[in-house]
Amino acid sequence: MNAAVSASRRRPFTIEPWSVREPELDLGRMAQTESVFALSNGHLGLRGNLDEGEPHAVPGSYLNSFYESRPLPHAEAGYGYPESGQTIINVTNGKLIRLLVDDEPLDTRYGELFSHTRVLDLRAGTLTRDTGWVSPAGRAVRVRSERLVSLTQRAVAAIDYRVEPVDAPVLVVVQSELVANEEVPRPVDVDPRATAVLIAPLAHARHRADPTGATLLHRTKRSGLLMAASMDHEVYGPDGVSVQCTATEHIGRTTVICRLLPGQQLRLVKYLAYGWSGQRSPSALDDQVRAALAAARYTGWDGLVAQQREYLDDFWSSADVEIDGDAELQQAVRCALFHVMQAGARAERRAIPAKGLTGPGYDGHTFWDTETYVLAVLTYLVPDAGADALRWRQSILPLALERATQLGLQGAAFPWRTISGQECSGYWPAGTAAFHINADISDAVLRHVAATADTDFERGTGLELLVGTARLWRSLGHHDAEGEFRIDGVTGPDEYSAIADNNVYTNLMAQQNLRAAAELSARHPRAAAALGVDAEEMASWRNAAGAMRIPYDEKLAVHPQAEGFTDHAVWDFADEPPEHYPLMLHHPYFDLYRKQVVKQADLVLAMQLRPDAFSDPEQMARNFAYYEQITVRDSSLSAAVQSAMAALTGHLDLAYDYLGETALIDLDDLAGNTGDGMHLASLAGSWTAIVAGFGGMRAGQDGRLAFAPHLPSSLARVSFGMHWRGLHLRVAITPDEAEYRLLRGGSAQLIHHDEEIELSGGEPQRCPIPALPPREQPEQPPGRAPAPRRPRG
C-alpha cells in the first residue's frame, strides 16, 4: 500500500491492548504520529521521525532543560516583566540513518512504499518500523528498525537498523549521522527576532571522528549551555562491508557500504549517548558521553532491550489499568500512562515540561500541569520520579525567592512557565498573577508525603517548599476590617478570568498551604527554626488559613469562582458558531474575562482537590451543574477534572464521556495540536479520572485511603493499581462490587464507601457498591457537551 493522506480515517492507529500501531504511512498525520511515537526517558527525548529524517513534520531531539534564551518583546514595557524567554531547542539529531539503494535515497515520497508499519510497544518500550520500498529505478528493499531511549541508562538511546534486498542484488550505502542545527519549521506565534535567535542556536565547540562513530560538542549561543552527542556502531553484514567515519563542525557521519544479495542483510546497531552541562568543560562532557557510550556498547543491544522490558514489567505490574468493555479506552489509557512514565522516569531533578520531551509546544516550558496533573499520577505509580520533580522545585527556590522580592512579596514566587527557573511568561495577567502555582506545588508535596510517608522528604524538600509558599500567601493576602483573609487581584486556573478577588480555588489551596506549613513546622521544629520559622509566624499562617475568605452566592446557592463572578453576564453561547472555539482565538481577553465563561475547571477543580471544603454533596452537585453550563473546555486541562467530578457527583455516563476525551486527546488529535507534543496533563488526568472519579479515591493527609467506587453503565470492569506507603494496592471495580488486594506489603486499612476494611497478605476483599441516588443531568453550553462515548473495538 502506498503512503497517502487518508482523511476519511478518524485516526492513524489500530486498536490493540498493548501497542500503538500505524498500519500505513499518512503524511498528513506525520506531526501527530511523530509525537505519539516519541520515545523518552525524561532526560533524552526523540520524536518519532523516520530514520532517514525526511519526510518529516517536526524533527525533534531534546535534552531536558537544554534551551536557548531569546528576547521577550513587549509593546509596552512594565516593571517586573521578564525580558528574556527560554525555548527548548532541537539538539543534535542522532537518530538519522540515511539509506541509498543503488544510488537512490530511500524517501517514501518517491518510488513505491509497498509496506509500512510502525509499532510503539508499550511493554517493550521500543518503536519498531517495517518498510518495504521499491526505488524509482525498481530496486526493492525491506528495512526494519527498532529504536529505544533507555529507561535504565539515561544518557543512552539505541537503534537496531536492518536492510535487505527483496529480489535482486543491491548496493546499499548507509549514512548514520549526528547533525547539529537541523532546519526546523519556524514557530508561528513567536516574535520574528526570537525566531532568528532559534534558527541555528548551536555553536560548534568540538568534533571528532571515532573509529566506528563520531562525537560533536556544541554550545548554545546565548544561554551558553554545552552539549555533547556521540555515536558508535556495530556493523553486521556480508564480507566486504566498508565502514568509514568522518566529522565536521556540525555533522558526524559513519558510512557503511556493501553489496547485498537476496537473503543477505546489513545490520547496524547504533548506540547514542547525550549529555549537557551549564558548567562542565568540553573535555569533561566529552568523557562523560564516551563513558555512557562505552556502557551502552558493553550492555549491547539485546541487553538494552532486556533492561527496558524489565523496567517496564516492573512499572506495569503496579501501574496497569485494565478496562473491560472499551478496547479503545484500554489502549488510550495505557498509552497515556506510558507517556507520563516516559516524561518523569529519569527527569531527575529537572523540570517535567507540559509536553514532556515529545515536541516543541509551549517552548518546552513547565507549568502547574506538572504538579497538579502529572505528579498526581507519578506519586502513586513512580513515587521516586514524583519526589525528584519536587526536588527540582526545591532547587529553583533561590530564583523563586528572588522573584518574590522583585514583586514586593515575601517567600517564594515560583514561575508560571519556565525551563530553568526564571519566569518566562510574557503576559502577566495569565502568568505572574496565577499565583496558585505555588499552592499547587505545596499540594503536590502534601500528596507525595501522604502517599509515601517519607519523613525525610517531608522534613527536607517538603518543609522548605511549604514554608516558602506559605510566606508568599501570607504576604500576598491581607486581613480586612472584619478579619477575613483576602487574596485580591489574582488569576485562578480558568484562563478566561483574570485578576479577580478571592478566587475560591486559589484561596482554598492557599489555606491548605498555610495550614500545612504550620503543621509541618510544628512537627519538625528544628528544621523549621533553621528556616527562620517561629511560633508567631506559624500562628499568623494558622490565623490567615482560619480566616480565609470563601465567597458564596446565597441567591444562586453556589460558590462563585471568584468574588462577584456570578454577577457577571453569562457568555452568549447561543450565538457562538462551533468554528469560534477556542474562544480566545475569536474574542479579546477583555470580553472573556468579564463574563461567565470558563475555559477550564476552576471551582470544579477546587472541589476535586479540596473535597473537605465542600462537605455537603448537594452543594457539590449544585456547583458542578452550575459550572457545567458555562465551561467550554478550550483547555486540555479540563476534561479530566470534569470527568472526576461528574463521577463524584453521580453523573457516571458524563464522566465516561469526559474520560474518553481526556484519554484520547492525542491518539485522536482532539485538540488538533498533538503534533507540537503530547498533552501530558490531559493524559495523566485520564488516570486520575478513573481512580479519583470512578474509584472515588481520596488520599487523606492523615494516611487514610478511601474509595467510593462506581462504574458507568458501559464498562464491565475496571482495575487499577497504586503505591501507598510501601504497599502495592490493586483495586478492581465491577458494577456491583469492588475488590481490593495487596500485591506487595503486609496489611492495610482502607475505607470503602465510608466503611473501614482491612487488607492483609494477598487476600482480596470484596465489597458491594451501593446504588447512586438519581440526579438531574447537568447541561453544557450548546455544542460543548463531550462526544457521547460509544465503546469501539
Which positions are catalytic?
495
b/e sequence 359-398, b meaning 16+ C-beta within 10 Å: bbbbbbbbbbbbbbbbbbbbbbbbbebbbbbbbbbbebbe
Q: How far is the CB of 433 from a copy of itself (least distance, A)?
A: 5
Determine, following the binding rule CB under 8 A, whether residue 590 of this chain makes contact with a copy of itself.
yes
What are the CB-based long-range contacts (under 8 Å, 24+) for 579-588? Answer: 581/632, 581/634, 581/784, 582/632, 582/634, 583/496, 583/632, 583/634, 584/495, 584/496, 584/634
Query: Do the beta carbons of residue 249 and residue 204 sit within 8 Å?
Result: yes
450 backbone φψ class: left, alpha, beta (φ>0; ψ -120 to 50): alpha
Using the rule CB under 8 A, give the single segment among 137-145, 495-503, 530-538, 731-739 that binds a copy of itself: 495-503
Determine, following the binding rule CB under 8 A, whether residue 85 of this chain makes contact with a copy of itself.
yes
- 205 phi and psi angles, rounded to 5 deg: -120, -40
Using the rule CB under 8 A, give the single segment among 128-136, 498-506, 507-515, 626-634 that binds a copy of itself: 498-506
d(CA 464, CA 147): 41
Name which position in 186, 193, 523, 790 contacts a copy of itself (CB under 8 A). Answer: 193
Name which position in 187, 282, 426, 791 contacts a copy of itself (CB under 8 A). Answer: 426
End-to-end CA gap in the chain = 23
Q: Three cell numbers at 697?
A: 479515591
CB closer to a copy of itself, 384 vs 563: 563
Query: Do the beta carbons of residue 412 and residue 397 sit within 8 Å?
Result: yes
Query: Do the beta carbons of residue 681 and residue 369 sit within 8 Å?
Result: yes
Name which position in 429, 611, 650, 745 contacts a copy of itself (CB under 8 A). Answer: 429
Name which position in 325, 489, 611, 650 contacts a copy of itself (CB under 8 A). Answer: 489
Name which position in 490, 517, 639, 659 contacts a copy of itself (CB under 8 A). Answer: 490
Determine, following the binding rule CB under 8 A, whether residue 622 of this chain makes contact with a copy of itself.
no
Determine, following the binding rule CB under 8 A, whether residue 80 of this chain makes contact with a copy of itself.
yes
Q: How far is the CB of 565 from a copy of itself (least distance, A)?
A: 10
Determine, following the binding rule CB under 8 A, whether residue 427 of this chain makes contact with a copy of itself.
yes
What are the CB-based long-range contacts (under 8 Å, 24+) for 224-227? Answer: 224/278, 225/66, 225/67, 225/276, 225/277, 225/278, 226/276, 226/277, 226/278, 226/280, 226/282, 226/285, 227/63, 227/66, 227/91, 227/92, 227/202, 227/274, 227/275, 227/276, 227/285
Query: Do the beta carbons of residue 276 and residue 245 sit within 8 Å?
Result: no
Determine, following the binding rule CB under 8 A, whether residue 24 of this chain makes contact with a copy of itself.
no
Using the rule CB under 8 A, give the single segment among 188-196, 231-239, 623-631, 665-673 that binds a copy of itself: 188-196
Determine, following the binding rule CB under 8 A, whether residue 584 of this chain makes contact with a copy of itself.
yes
Q: How far is the CB of 481 from a copy of itself (least distance, A)?
A: 7
CB closer to a copy of itself, 260 vs 498: 498
Q: How far is the CB of 577 from a copy of itself (least distance, A)?
A: 13
181, amino acid identity: N
Query: Do the beta carbons of residue 508 and residue 606 sit within 8 Å?
Result: yes
d(CA 414, CA 422): 8
Name which position in 488, 519, 653, 739 contacts a copy of itself (CB under 8 A). Answer: 488
CB closer to a copy of itself, 415 vs 695: 415
Name which position in 24, 130, 384, 501 contacts a copy of itself (CB under 8 A). Answer: 501
Q: How far is the CB of 412 from a copy of itself (least distance, A)?
A: 16
DSSP 621-644: HHHHHHHHTTB---STTSHHHHHH
Taking Cα atoms as reference points, which of 502, 209, 189 lies closest to residue 361?
189
Q: Which residues contact 649 (CB under 8 A, 6 or more apart)?
A: 617, 620, 621, 624, 625, 775
Crossing angle for the helix pair 436-452 and 383-395, nearest 10 degrees?
140
Determine, following the binding rule CB under 8 A, whether residue 75 of this chain makes contact with a copy of itself.
yes
Determine, following the binding rule CB under 8 A, whether residue 574 of this chain makes contact with a copy of itself.
no
CB closer to a copy of itself, 163 vs 490: 490
Q: How far is the CB of 196 from a copy of itself (least distance, A)?
A: 11
Determine, following the binding rule CB under 8 A, whether residue 578 of this chain makes contact with a copy of itself.
no
CB closer to a copy of itself, 478 vs 792: 478
- 442 phi and psi angles, rounded to 5 deg: -65, -40
Taking Cα atoms as reference points, which of 350, 293, 333 lies closest to residue 150?
293
Kind plus residue range of the DSSP H or E element containing 471: helix 463-476
Taking Cα atoms as reference points, which of 38, 20, 693, 40 lies closest to residue 334?
20
Determine, following the binding rule CB under 8 A, whether residue 69 of this chain makes contact with a copy of itself.
no
CB closer to a copy of itself, 563 vs 739: 563
Name which position in 9, 74, 186, 744 contacts a copy of itself (CB under 8 A). Answer: 74
d(CA 652, CA 638): 17
Using the rule CB under 8 A, give the single segment among 50-58, 452-460, 477-485, 732-740 that binds a copy of itself: 477-485
Name which position in 310, 591, 612, 736 contacts a copy of itself (CB under 8 A). Answer: 591
Determine, following the binding rule CB under 8 A, whether residue 428 of this chain makes contact with a copy of itself.
yes
d(CA 452, CA 383): 8
CB closer to a copy of itself, 9 vs 193: 193
Determine, following the binding rule CB under 8 A, whether residue 432 of this chain makes contact with a copy of itself.
yes
Name which position in 79, 456, 577, 776 contacts a copy of itself (CB under 8 A). Answer: 79
755 pairs with which residues across the strands?
Answer: 752
CB closer to a copy of itself, 78 vs 774: 78
Name which position in 47, 270, 334, 486 contacts a copy of itself (CB under 8 A). Answer: 486
Determine, following the binding rule CB under 8 A, whether residue 219 of this chain makes contact with a copy of itself.
no
Determine, following the binding rule CB under 8 A, whether residue 78 of this chain makes contact with a copy of itself.
yes
Using the rule CB under 8 A, give the single segment among 81-89, 231-239, 266-274, 374-382 that binds a copy of itself: 81-89
Strands (E), 221-359: 226-236, 242-247, 251-260, 266-277, 322-324
Determine, following the binding rule CB under 8 A, whether residue 483 of this chain makes contact with a copy of itself.
no
Name which position in 341, 449, 498, 680 contacts a copy of itself (CB under 8 A). Answer: 498
Kind plus residue range of the DSSP H or E element containing 290: helix 282-319
Assign 80 to helix, strand or coil: coil
Taking Cα atoms as reference points, which of 294, 362, 302, 306 lies closest to residue 151?
306
Q: How far is the CB of 407 from a copy of itself (least distance, A)?
A: 5
CB closer to a copy of itself, 298 vs 590: 590
User: Quick one: the chain helix, strand, coil %, rounded to 5?
Assistant: 35, 25, 40
Contact string 404-423 vs a copy of itself (x = CB under 8 A)? --xxxx--------------
d(CA 665, CA 678): 9
Q: Three cell numbers at 601?
A: 475547571
CB closer to a copy of itself, 304 vs 548: 548
Using the rule CB under 8 A, give the single segment among 47-55, 391-399, 587-595, 610-618 that binds a copy of itself: 587-595
The β-bridge relationship of strands 705-707 and 747-752 is parallel
Determine, following the binding rule CB under 8 A, whether residue 516 of this chain makes contact with a copy of itself.
no
Determine, following the binding rule CB under 8 A, whether residue 617 of this chain makes contact with a copy of itself.
no
CB closer to a copy of itself, 564 vs 735: 564
- Using CB under 8 A, list all residues that contact a copy of itself: 72-82, 85, 189, 191-193, 406-409, 425-429, 432-433, 478, 480-481, 486, 488-490, 498-499, 501, 555, 563-564, 567-569, 584-591, 593-595
